[in-house]
Every structure is written in C-alpha cells, then in structure tokens.
Amino acid sequence: MECPEENVVVDFVRGEVDDELRVVIERHLDGCAACLQVVGELARIFQLPVDADAGTFGGGETLVETSPMTGTAGKTRKDDVFVAGLHEGSKLGRYVVLSRVGAGGMGVVFAAYDPELDRKVAIKLMRSAPGGSGPKELADQRARLLREAQAMAKLSHANVITVHDVGTIDGQVFVAMEFIDGTTLSGWLRERPRTWREVMTVVLAAGRGLAAAHAAGLVHRDFKPDNVLIGKDGRVLVTDFGLARPAAGRTDAFATVGGNSSQKVLGIALTQTGALVGTPAYMAPEQLAGERSDALADQFSFCIAAYEGLYGERPFAGRVLSELIANVSDGAVRPPSVKAAVPRWLRRALLRGLAVRREERYPSMDALLQSLAHDPWRRWRQAAIVGVPAIVVGAATLAYQQHEQPRAAAYCQDVRDKLDDVWDDGRRDAVRRRFEAAGAAWATDGYDHVARKLDPYAEQWLAMQTQACRDEVEGARPQAVLALQMTCLERRRDALAALGELLASGDAATLERAIDAADNLPALDVCGDLERLMAREGSVDATIDPETRRSLDAALARAKVLIDASALAAARTEATALIERTKSAGYARGEAFARHLVAVAYDLGGETESAERSYHEALSASLASGDAEVVVRASIGLLWVSTQASRPLIEADRWYAHGKGALERMGGDPELAAELERTIAVAYLQHGELETAEVHARASVKLREESFGADHASLGLPLGTLGEVLAAQDRMEPAREAFERARTLIEREYGELHPNAAAANDNLGALLAESGDLEAALTPMRRGLAIREAALGVDHPSNAASHHNIAGALRELGRIDEARVHAQRELAIARLAFGDGDSEYASALGNLALCDAEDGRHDAAAAGFRQAREVVLASLGKRHPQVAFYSGGLAAELLALQRASEAIEFAQEALDVRLAALGPEHFKVGLSERLLADVLLAALRPDDAIPHAEHAIAILTGKVGDASALGQSQFALARALWDSPTHRDRERARELARTALATVKTRKPVDASDVDGIEAWLEAHP
C-alpha cells in the first residue's frame, strides 16, 4: 500500500482503527522506515509509553500479539465486541442500524433509522481508548462524547452538522446526528481538479461554520478536511467537535461527570490520552508546543486546510513529525510545487492566517473570511458592468459615501490647482534661489538633482489624480476603491508639499541633507496598483473624521521629511507629539507610523537603546493596526539594531523572516525588499558568514536593478555592501569594481562634490587599504575628506571617520607622525560634536592609542585604551562588544610592558564579552582567544594557554581575513606545548611553529616582525 495519510496514522497510534485496517498498516510499517519513524514520534508526542517487552501501550494493560512500535495489535476490547455485534437491523435504543459508515477519532459511525421521527440519522458510538476501560476511564470517555454533543448541539447554523440526540445504550455513549449523503472535503478534492473559485466556495462555507462555533464560545481544536462534509445536495458542514472546548474566559460550563445526558460537562479540559489534541499536520505552533488552544489556533488549522485545497499540498513540509514541527514553528511556508492559478491576494490572506505569532493573524475568523471573500478584481468588474458601486471593504464604503463622495467631485474640478504652493513654478523658483544663496560647491548639482526628481513626481501625481477623478465621475471603480486611491494620493501630495516647504526655507546645511529626501518620497505607483494598494491599506478607516485624518497625515509627512533631511531633533519632537495626537484620534495606522518615525530618529542619532525600544513599540502598533509596511520597516530597524549590537545571528535571522513575511502579505515592495536583503547581508558579513552575505547582497543589487534600472543612484548603497563582502573574501578586483561602480553612479546623480560622493570615496579607499595598496588608498580617502570639509566645514562630525581611516592607513605605512595628526583631529572633532563621554570619543581615543603603540609608547597607549574602555563602560554598558576592543587593546599594551599578570584580567574580559555577544565560533572570539593565550604564556601558565590557543586555531582556520591572526595562534600553541610541564610535545611544537611561519607569509603585505619572531624561536628551539 501507499503511505497512509497522517490522520490515519494518528488514529492507528491511538488505537482507533478497526482490525482490518490495523493489519494492513502494520504490514506497511514492516517495509517503510519513514512511516515507522512517524509512528514512533507520534507515540512520543502523544505521551504514549511503549514497552515492547511487556507488550503494553499507554495505560499498562497487557495486550495480545503486540506490535513493537504500537503495542495495539490483537487487542480485543469490550466495545469492539459490542460494535462487532452490530449489523443491519440491530437495535440501538429506538434506532435501527442500517449500515456501518466508518470510524473516526474515538468513535465508530453507523447509518441508522429513527422510527419515531421517520428520518435517517448518523449514530456515533464511543470507543474506549487503549490502556484500560475502568470506571474512571469510561467516565472520562463518556464526558468526552458528551462534550462533543453539547458543543454541536449548542450550534444552529447552516454549516454545522445538527445534533438530534445524545445518550447511552448498554454502557456505550452515542450521539445521533443528521445523516449527510456525500463525502468529506478530502474526498471531494480528490474527485477531480478544482478551480480556486470552486475550492473557496466550499472553504468559505466551512469557515462560516467554524466562525459560528467561535461565536458560541467554542473552539474546535481539530479542524481539517476530513472534518468537513459535503453533501450531494451541495451543503457544506463542519463536524466532529469531539475536541471542542469553551473559549477561554467563559463560565457557562461545569466540571461534572456522570448521570444523564443533560449534565453539563463541557467545561472539563480533556485531552486525548496525552499532551496534544488534534491532528499534527493541521496544528498551530502553539498546539504543537502543548499550549492551550483558542480560536486563533482554529484559524491556523483552517488556513492549512484552505491552502491544501488550493495548491494540492499543505503549506508546511515534513515527512517526519520533527521536521513538520520545525517548519511550522519557524513559519517556513514552502512555495507551491506546481504553478496554481491562485491570485496573489488570496495567498497573502492565507499567509497572514498562518503567521507563527498569534497577534499577526486575523483577530477573528470573521475577519479572515471577509479577507478571503474579498476578490477585488471581481468586485471591480461587477461595478463596471452593472454601473453602480460595489460594496468593498466593509464599513469603509458607507463612510466614504457619507464623507468623501461630495469632496471627490469638488476635488476633481481643477486637479492642477491642488499643487499650488506644493510644487508649482513659484515653489520651484523659491527653491532654486535658496540653492543659489547657499553658495556651496555642490549647490548647482544639488538643485538639478532635486528638480529632476520632483518635476516628474508632480506630473505623475497629476496624471494619476486626474484619472482617479475621471473614474469617480464615470463610476468606473467602486467608491471604496476610490477612497483608498485618493487617500494614497493625498498622502503623497502631503509628502511633496512638506519637502517643497523645507527646500524653500532651509539653510545650506538643511538643503545639503534635504537632497536625499527627494529620493525618499513615497512611491506613486502603488496608488495605481489596486491589488498592492488593498494589501497595504485594506480600507480607509471609517471611524475617524476625514479632516482629522488628513491633518494628521500631513503632519506625519512633515515629520518624515525632517528625518530624511537629518533634522533629527525636530523630527523626534514632532513625531513624539503625533503619537499622542493619533492615539487620541483613534488613528491606529497613524500612531504606528509616528512610533516608527521616533524610532528612526533615535536610530540615526546613534541612540541605540531608545531606537530599539521604539522599533518594538512601532512593531506592536503596526501589527495591531494591520499596517504591513510599518511591520517591514520596523523589522528592518530591529535587524539593523541587533547587527550594530553584534548580537547572535539567530536574532538577525528572526527579524529578517519577520520582514519577509510582512512583505509578502503587503504584496511586495522592491525598495523595502532590497533594503531588507542588504541589511541581513551586513549581519552575515559581521559574523563572517561571507557566502550567505554575498547571496543577500547580490539579491539587494538585483532587486534595485530590476526596479529602477542598472544606472540608478540607489544602487550605490547595496553595491557598497557587496564590495565589502567581496573584500572580506579577499576578492579584491570584483570588490573594487563594485565600489567604483557605486562611486560613478553617485557622482553622476549628485555631482562629484556632494557629500554622498565622499562616502563612495571612503569605501574605495578602505578597499585599497585592505588589499595592501595603502598609498593608493590615501587618494580617495583624502578626496572624501576634502569634499566633506568643503561642503560641511572642517569640524563637521562626519569628518571624524575620514580622519580615522586616513590615520589607520598612514600608521600601517609607518608614517606615525602624520597618522597622529589625523588621529588628534578625529579626537578634537569627536569631543566637540559628541562630548568626552560618548562612544565616538572612545573610538578616537583608541585610534590615537594605536598610533602610540606603533610608536613604541606603550604607557601612553595603555592609558588611552584604559580611558576609552571607561568611556564605553559608562556609555554603553559592560556587555557591549566595543568593551572587548578596548579591553583587548589594554591587555596587549600591558603585555608589551611585561605586566602579563595584570593583563590577564582585561584579556579575559575581552573574551567573555565577545563570547556573550557573538557566540563561540565568531572570528573575533578567535582573536580574543589568541590574545589570552599569549598573555597566559607570558605569565608562565602554558597549560592554561593551550585550550585557548587550540580554540583560536579551530575558529580562525578557514576564515578569510588576516593570516597573521591564525599564524600567531599556531605559534602560541607551539610555545605552550614546548613549555608545558604536563602536556609537553616538542616535536609537535616545532611542526606547529613551521606551520605558523608558512601561514604568516601568506599575509599581504607580509609583516616582517611576525616572520622574524617565529624564525628566531625555531632557531633557538632545535
């Protein structure tokens, strides 16, 4: 036989199949290792102990002819005898048996005749679970069936099977239900290929039955296709509420068992023999975790069944249970294996119902069904054909008709007037004059850039607004769709107005920063893409006064432009005030966006802890409001914060997956998708996972090329990230090509003297320095500094980074005096811009300390590292990864001063901080392990040094980077093995030293001091 379906295997493990099917399955298990593993895992997850020697399963009762895996073979139960004795014509109370229909969870179903009411019914008889049939077990099982009867009898709905009667016959509990002549949803799907509309007709009907159960306070807990019946008359009914229980918080049930059929036992929290209730293939993550189920778990199960009906396979792969659980818990929805003609909006709706986080699902089955039934294209076509507006997006339609329709007609009288003082000839001239008055070298190119962006943006807005107005007049689209489009266009007009106002009034510094804001105007194309628009917006909020919403949207646009122009303090003040204003107005989407703006302002201002807190608040607010775009943006922000804090990669992966899921639900957005890919690439780069980093970096580049073209300036940032990844892989030529392409695109767009071009020069200089061409690196580095000083002034904070990089290159060239000049300028700028308690000031102290160290001034270097460490401890806390750099630097300088015993404390601190922040396999942990090994060797503790040197070698072997670190780790282990009193192995020590010598010679350029030190040791230790 073929492998049985999961629900059949579940019934087999529970001992709920008849003898004939049991024998067939057992024969199959003898030759199918995969199914055998599933059975074993199910036995564990249902907490059914197996004792193959004793032949027991579940409750300790000895069974005959036990199967080693299931322990159920050959058991003859009392109720099996009773059931086996039933045949056509047998009496069950007043009912006459007609035929056996089938067996299900804990029950056997017969077709029967009710002579009193002259109707055909279905009788379900309780079967005892494996493991005993004592008084307590029988009472529990009776309670279970009574629960099922009560659950179903409480419901009166066209899509829920009707319960007529419940009682006991000869100790057997029964339920009499209406008889459905038809098949299950599973069988119906197998009959022939079904269109997606056919499937959704049935699925929606079943969903209405499930929603009715929830409205009655009941949770099904085992919704699956086999529990949906489809009659030959076309009726669709949900059945098998044997696992149902009252929803959390209801108090209308009593924990009483026994007596007659009217007793209330629905409140007993019964489970099937073990920890889980339901069929694993359709379980929500919280069910698989053994947590209490509710209506949101039913929603998840429903969406699995709907997905299976549409695509012919369930959304989560898993041949064995452990794999299934992992995929469900990770939200790893597999792409359809066959191309199904299922609309994207329908898939997105199901994916939201399949969200791992309960709060990301629909708030109710009714909300899910509304989304699933909402075919925007069908309704649009109907509206156009009939000539009257179709009802779309629920209550929003009424609100639009009441508040927006008169306004829309007026709005369309003269569309061009709507851009007066937004971006017209007068505003354009005012902006041009402000750029001319700035007197900066970049001003002419800057104005040209702004005009190239804003002129076509305004024209596209006019065209789209004009078309929307025509559609309103002609009735070409439903009113609610027009409401969404006009709101979308209004928000973009607000953004254009806010930017134009800022450009017309800003000073030179504001204008320089505001040029970037022109690139960040919200895209207009989404306003014309109905499917994406509805996925993003859903509806115009009907509960908010339209004028209040428009006023708040305009204020939010102003705050966003302030952020784009780097006016962070003003932006944060305005956005913080807007949180309260939107909250008071009940404008949930506006509140989510305001919280996001506050988070971005903190983030760009370097206030990481406040940014992270605010991103979380924005994420929670956007999930509550259903604003998928803010969910994506907040996820990217949290991914960036976790990367900057050097947290374990698993956290970055979690935020990446969160953002990807929200992107799919909102219908995609190439710009957001590209930034998500670039940010996760940075995370993998930081953790040394370079192949994966390259995949994501190239994906980011490709997304922007496909969306904006191969010559678009927005490619500069992802190309820079790709260049960094390639450089880390020691692939210097393709890295250089990426950086040079980025610089060309940026200079072409902004001009050669714009500060954005300075960043491109910085990247190219860093690459050349990394490749060992230090003299060549100084040219773009100095060009970047010159651009910034000319554009922004010599004391601008961004100049500190340029001085830092130039000092590093000069230091490597041995030009210490020149390097010290730049390091001191960095220190002065950092003190002026950030204060002497900021981590930027600590970075400058560290740079100067490195100059002192290279110059042999180890006392001064140690003092510099010590001060930098104290600043970081006070400003960022003792667990921040920056602590490790300064502690390690201090330890190295104390080692140079022959104060090894004192250095141990700081070398150990550096290692502990990196282990906690980065995990045990990160290459920076390897560097700290090597340093601690050197310090312990100098402190005459070779045995203690050995494990640290070995761990350093294990981490650094195969890592792309400075070969000196691996070579010095090998050399440290060689010396430790030579000097060890307990682990002495001098032959291996010399071999390691020779290996170390070969390793350090691969460094480009070769460090002569490394080579000389190892060669001298080998000569002294023959």
Element containing residue 107 per DSSP (H, E): strand 107-114
Backbone angles phi, psi at 99, to 5 degrees: -170, 160
In contact, 858 and 893? CB cutoff 8 Å: yes
Burial class (CB in 10 A: 0-12, 13-18, 19+), 192: exposed
Burial class (CB in 10 A: 0-12, 13-18, 19+), 729: middle
User: For residues 263-286, b (16+ Cβ closer than 10 Å) or e, as one string?
Assistant: eebbbbebbbbbebbbbbbbbbbb
Alpha-carbon distance values, 967 to 407, 885, 993 (Å): 75, 20, 9
Distance from the Cα of residue 527 to its chain's centroid: 26
Nearest to 827 by CA among 816, 818, 814, 840: 840
Distance from the Cα of residue 7 to its chain's centroid: 31
3-class SS at 229?
strand
Whether 448 sits among the annotated catalytic residues: the reply is no
In contact, 951 and 986? CB cutoff 8 Å: no
Alpha-carbon gap, residue 492 to 483, rounded angstroms: 14
Q: Going by C-beta distance under 8 Å and a sequence separation of 6 or more, which residues neighbour residue 885? A: 846, 910
Residue 917 has which token pair?
Answer: 């922040």
Omega before 335 within 30 of 0, i.e. cis: no
Residue 520 has which token pair?
Answer: 């960040």
Say which amino acid occupies 805. Answer: N
Element containing residue 882 per DSSP (H, E): helix 881-896
Q: One of 222, 226, 838, 934 is an active-site residue; which one?
A: 222
Q: For residue 230, what are the β-bridge partners?
A: 183, 236
Burial class (CB in 10 A: 0-12, 13-18, 19+), 116: exposed
In contact, 404 and 483? CB cutoff 8 Å: yes
User: For residues 580-603, b (16+ Cβ closer than 10 Å) or e, as one string?
Assistant: ebbeebebbbbbbbbbbbbbbbbb
Active site (catalytic) residues: 222
